[in-house]
Amino acid sequence: MHEKLIRVGLTKTEAKIYVMLLDITKAQAGVLSRKTGIHRRSIYDALDRLIEKGLVSYIVENGKRYYIAADPKRVQELIDEQREDVYQVLPLLQAKFREHKDKQETMFYRGKEGIKTIFEDQLATGKGIDVIGASEQAEEILPYYFFHYKKRRVQKKLLIRAIYGGKSKSSLPSLVEARYLPSSFSTLVSTYIYGPKVAIVIWLVHDPVAIVIQQPDVSATFKNYFTVLWSVAKS
C-alpha cells in the first residue's frame, strides 16, 4: 500500500503517517513517532506537507493537537490534479519536442522500459510493421506488455509481416502474417521496419538494447531487404 501511495506523489514518510492515521483515527505527533519509528522532527515536517496536500487535518483538544486522516478520496483528487497539470504543460513540451524531432535521426535505447518506447512508437506511427528475424524471446522478456500491445495494435488495424528462422507456428495472433527461413537464420536480433524508421533490437534477456534510425532512405533499403527475404521464405 505504501508503495502505491509513493507512486502518486507521497514520500515514504508521508505514506506511513497517512496509513497509520487511517488505522488509529487520530493521534498526536509523539504517538505517530512511536508507532511509525519516524523521528519526531520528520513527523512534524511530513504532517505539514500532508496538511498542504489536503490529506491530513487536525483538531485541538485540551490544548493538544490531534491529527486526523482525510477521506482517501482525496488521493484520487490529487491524481486528477497531477493529470490536469500534465495536460496543461503537455502542449509546450510537444512543441519543444517537435522543434528537434527531425534532427533526431538515430536514437539508442537500453533496458526493458527503453524497448517499450520503440513499440509505443510503432503504434503512434500507425504504419504496418515488417520484421526481419522475429524473435520469440521478445514475448518472454516483456510478456505483460506485449499482451496489451497486441490489443492496441489490432484496434489500430496495424498488420505485422514477420520472417522467422525455424519451424512454422501452429497459430498466429490477429493481423500477423508469417513466413519462415531455415533454423540457421534464428537470431536474437530483430529488425522492425515501420514508416520512415528502422528499429534493430537485440533481445538480451536481462538487458535488451536497440537502435532506432529515423531516415526514409535507410527504411526503404531495409524494406527492400525484407521484400527479397519474404519472397524466398516459406509460408
What domains are defined for the chain? 2-74 (1.10.10.10), 105-232 (3.30.870.10)
Widest CA span in the chain: 87
Spatial separation of the C-alpha atoms in residues 166 and 171, rounded to whole Å: 15
pLDDT of residue 219: 93
Q: How many of the other CB atoms lie within 10 Å of CB of 86?
A: 10
Query: For the purposes of burial, counting CB atoms within 10 Å of the CB of 155, is it exposed (0-12), middle (13-18) or buried (19 or more)?
Result: exposed
The sign of the torsion formed by the CA atoms of 31, 35, 36, 39 equals: positive
Task: Report the C-alpha gap between 186 and 184 in whole angstroms.
Answer: 5
Per-chain mean pLDDT for the chain: 89
pLDDT, tens digit, for every residue of 194-231?
999 999 999 988 889 999 999 888 999 999 999 999 99
Q: What does R_g of the chain's alpha carbons equal in angstroms?
A: 26
13-60 pLDDT tens trace: 998 998 999 998 888 999 999 999 999 899 999 999 999 989 999 998
